Amino acid sequence: MDEVGVEENLSYQENIRRGRRLIIVLILSLIGLVLIWTIAQMAGQADAAAVSTDRLEPQSLPAQTSLLSAEQASIEVGPFFAYWVATPRAHYRIDARVLSTHQYFLDLYARFSPVDFALA
């Protein structure tokens, strides 16, 4: 009777050790995936930040014109973390070169404005 109790106790402890090893492997795998994703995001941003040295002459100056009230249709974004309602007030036109972009994924404002542009 004592031998059966000892064998059961050893197999129980071995299962606990295996479970702990599995949890450690899963946590380390998750950390590795997050690290690889972060490095890939940083590499993509470094490529987008390459600035051209040639000059670009604009065809026209930037122009902003007011919208009529009938053209002011609201833009609604939600309901992930916040609910946003934006009403356009003007048209904006510019001849520019996109120097770089930055995408937002895990930000509060990412659903409203997922990409920032650096223009010149």
Tens digits of residue pLDDT in 37-59: 888 777 665 555 555 566 667 67
Torsion of CA 108, 109, 112, 118, to 10 degrees: -150
Instruction: Give the global pTM.
Output: 0.43
If we measure between CA atoms, which residue out of 57, 39, 69, 43 comes closest to residue 97? 57
pLDDT averaged over the chain? Answer: 77
